[in-house]
Amino acid sequence: MSSVPGSTRSFDAGAKPLWRPHAAGVLLGLGLLLTFVLTGHGLGGSGFTTALAAKSAQVVAPAATEANSYFGGMVEDGRNPLDAWITWQVIGVAFGALIGALSARRFKIQLDGPGALGKPGRIAMALLGGMVAGFGARISLGCTSGLGLSGAATLATAGFVFLGGFFISGAVFGLLTRRLWK
């Protein structure tokens, strides 16, 4: 393993260097602008998981899903909730990330997290964090990219409030769990 210059992370020898954060931020902003111009939508992903849950529920229990106040509108009249722009966006992001990781020689399956917790604890912490983030994305009507980036890009107050709350809660949780990372 060799260390990447300017980074504290180690990667396999031959991996391409990490992008500079400012360059990545500019490209993300241009990608967001292009997404608005071409599709009329911003970036986001949490709506896909909701559509996937609605479709899964429809397959398992169609009558109960149609009667459900949350999922019912997504599947009424035989509609497929996965037949939406956000499905293609998430598939494109997944393939783009895979191609990027492979081309940079950084693709690696690993379990990250605080070593002090052990493997089961890291998995439990990841699942709990994912559930809390998913719940937060649904009650705030957007994830960090959908509400935070796209909302702030349109100068929506909710986008800025969300980003502030996201960073503050991340800092607080980081302080509360920092002893686990040593």
Rg of the Cα atoms in the chain: 19
Q: pTM for the complete prediction?
A: 0.73
Rounded alpha-carbon distances, angstroms, from residue 176 to 119, 127, 136, 168, 169: 20, 18, 19, 12, 10
CA distance linking residue 15 with residue 5, whole number of Å: 11
Residue-level pLDDT at 12: 61
Asked if residues 47 and 74 have their Cβ atoms less than 8 Å apart, the reply is no
Domain limits, the chain: 1-109, 113-182
Q: What is the mean pLDDT of the chain?
A: 85
For residue 85, give the H/E element and its range.
helix 85-103
Residue-level pLDDT at 13: 67
Q: At what angle do helices 85-103 and 46-60 cross, to 10 degrees?
A: 120
Tell me how crowded residue 162 is: count the other CB atoms within 10 A of its CB: 24
Tell me how crowded residue 70 is: count the other CB atoms within 10 A of its CB: 12
pLDDT greater than 70 at residue 48:
yes
13 vs 93 pLDDT, higher one: 93
CA distance linking residue 175 with residue 182, whole number of Å: 12
pLDDT greater than 50 at residue 33:
yes
Q: Which percentage of the chain shows pLDDT scores above 90?
A: 31
CB burial readout 136-155, b (16+ within 10 A) else e: bbbebebbbbbbbbbbbbee
- Sign of the C-alpha dihedral computed for residues 59, 65, 66 and 69 taken in this order: negative
Residue-level pLDDT at 11: 53
